[in-house]
Amino acid sequence: MDAWSDQEYTMLHTIAVWVDNSWGCSHWDYSGVLFVNGPNSGYTSGPGLGLGLSLPNYGGGNYDIEVGFQFYCDCVQGYVPFGDWTQAQLQPQCGDERGSIIEEYSSRGVDLQPSCSDFTTSASSTYFQPHEYNKNGYHQWYIARGSLLSGADTVRSNYGSALIVNGSYRCPDKQCDIRCASIGGGRHMHGDAMDFNSYHDTPTWWAIRNAANTVSGRCIEPLDLSSNSHVHVDFRPSCPW
Amino acid sequence: MSKIRTWSRSSVSFLAVTIALCAVTHGQGQGVAPETITSLKSADWIERARGVRTVAGLAGSGVSDAVLGELLGTLERELRIVEDSFRRGIGVSNELGEEYGDYLAELQSLIRKNGDLTDNRVLRMVAFGVYNPDSPFVAELVNRAGDGLTPLALEMADSDLAGRRWNGLALLGRLYEQREALGISAAAVTQIRGTLYRAAQDDAPPTRSWAVIAIGAGRSRQDAAFLRQIAESDPAFREHEAKGTVSPVREAALEALEAIDRSGR
């Protein structure tokens, strides 16, 4: 996995965009690009070896900047502190609870950096209501991608009788409360996954699975992994199963 | 102009040294450091996943036999964990998190890409891995491994683990379909057909259904009478709000019969 470059690039991009446009934080301007580039090519782009970050301060006063970022190399994972900007300060501000949810994604190292517009309080579909897309949610805001909204309905329609949702969206804090050690990916945090209850019954699991199997773009977790407790369906870009 | 401190000289030095060390290590074989091998053997699956991702990040030009051996050992361990959790009725995605499956998929992919399928240990691990019976991987595996897969597929089709059994039936279906192209012996074809027929009469409807699909894949008129019998008598049914009573195994048998008719064989 190219674990380091995406996240770092996204974070820096966020600095550039949000500092300038949304935070209105006129003290800071961002110029240049942070390069983490070594002899093992393929991870980053940019000239030469080394780090470069320019943060001109137009606001006056003295500032101690410590920007922390993680980097991975082929043989080392390290944390290089050279700043004091916390992840929270790097997040877009949505003017409501979404800001803190977005902060969860950063602070828990999720491989997704959602924007304010990714969240909803009301997304639903023909067969499934907001409380099912955000089952036992920690926040009123949740992510429910269009592929999931239409896909879940097609599963339900193909199945031909009621389906109980075990879970769908999970914010990173909720995901962490379930199982924190492995947090990082997880389609439930991406808002494109749903678990349907199959009641520990293999024929039921199989019937739901067959109902999901005709849905375009679906990714169904094999029985070996989920057992017959639930059918996990998501709409990730590329299904490994 | 205010003072801006960006990073210390020592931080830059540290990074430079780190990157230089990486370069040195990367130049050795596939660049897999001893710490990565240690990670692959960790008791903690998160650490093992970290090791696999490190190897995957370096694997563009292939994986050495030694590293592949370590990866196979890791996969053997993961498959035991998956089986154990499944037998206890839990499932690793419930027990360890759905991210465990993502890690397992990455490990399997690494071995599939780099493993030699003429090596029976590799072939066994790859075939016994976790995937769906209708995954494109089934056809890919048969195409790559050929007839050598038949004994393993027959063994899988008798597994007490439902998922493995279904995958075994799917592999047999593909072998049956490719029997001429792969030059599978008449005796082996008879054995495959017998196994599929038995599975088509199993107590479990999903097993019957996968067996029927596999039989249909053979496109053989020899199987038409058997499939017709299933299409008329399989006892599995469920109620569908729009369609009324549906019989999934019978439907699978009808589809198989139509495919045989279309093939004209």
What is the span of the domain harbouring residue B234? 132-265
Distances (CA, A) of B214 to A72, A84, A120, B160, B175: 46, 61, 44, 19, 9
Residues of B whose CB is below 8 A from A215: none
Q: Confirm whether B5 is domain-assigned.
A: no
- The model's pLDDT over A223-238, given as tens digits with 9 standing for 90+, comes to 999 999 999 999 998 8
DSSP label at residue A54? B
**Per the structure block, which two tokens stand in for B69?**
């051996």
User: What is the nearest CA distance from A63 to chain B, expressed in angstroms?
Assistant: 6
Within 10 Å of residue A169's Cβ, how many Cβ atoms?
31
Neighbours of A78 (CB within 10 A): 11
Confidence of residue B228 (pLDDT cuts 50, 70, 90): very high
At position A24, the amino acid (one-letter code) is G
Structural domain tally of chain A?
A: 2
Q: Are residue A80 and residue A11 in the same domain, yes or no?
A: yes
CA distances from A162 to A67, A192, B113 (A): 51, 20, 41
Q: ipTM of this predicted complex?
A: 0.85
Considering the domain boundaries, does residue B4 fall inside one? Answer: no
List of residues 6+ apart from A143 with CB closer than 8 A: A114, A118, A119, A120, A169, A189, A190, A191
Inter-chain residue contact B242 with A60, CB threshold 8 Å: no
Among B7, B101, B106, select the one facing A225 at the smallest CB separation: B101
| pLDDT of B248 over the 80 cut | yes
Q: What is the pLDDT of residue A29?
A: 24
Per-residue DSSP letter, A93: -
Residue A218 and residue A151 share a domain:
yes
Q: Count A/B contacts: CB-CB distance under 8 Å.
A: 190
On whether residue A67 sits in a domain, the answer given is: yes
Torsion angle in degrees (nearest 10) through CA of B59, B62, B64, B70: 50
pLDDT at residue number A182: 61
CATH number at residue A223: 3.30.1380.10
Instruction: Work out the minimum CA distance from B7 to partner chain A, whole angstroms.
Output: 5
A51 and A131 assigned to the same domain: no
Q: Determine the structural domain holding residue A58 and report its residue range.
A: 5-90
What are B71's two structure tokens?
């990866």
Angle, vertex CA B134, rays to CA A189 and CA B85, nearest 5? 55
User: What was the pLDDT predicted at A94?
Assistant: 79
Domain edge (last residue) among B112, B130, B148: B130
Among A74, A181, A213, beta carbon nearest to B26:
A74
Residue A185 included in any domain? yes
Residues of chain A with pLDDT under 70: 1-93, 181-185
**Distance of alpha carbon B175 from alpha carbon B153, whole angstroms:** 9
The shortest C-alpha distance from B256 to chain A (Å) reads 16
Q: What is the pLDDT of residues A19-35, one digit of tens each?
A: 322 222 222 222 223 33
Q: Does A68 touch chain B (CB under 8 A)?
A: no
Place of tokens 């897999």: B32
pTM for the whole thing?
A: 0.76
Asked if the structure places residue A110 within a domain, the reply is: no
In a domain, A109, yes or no: no
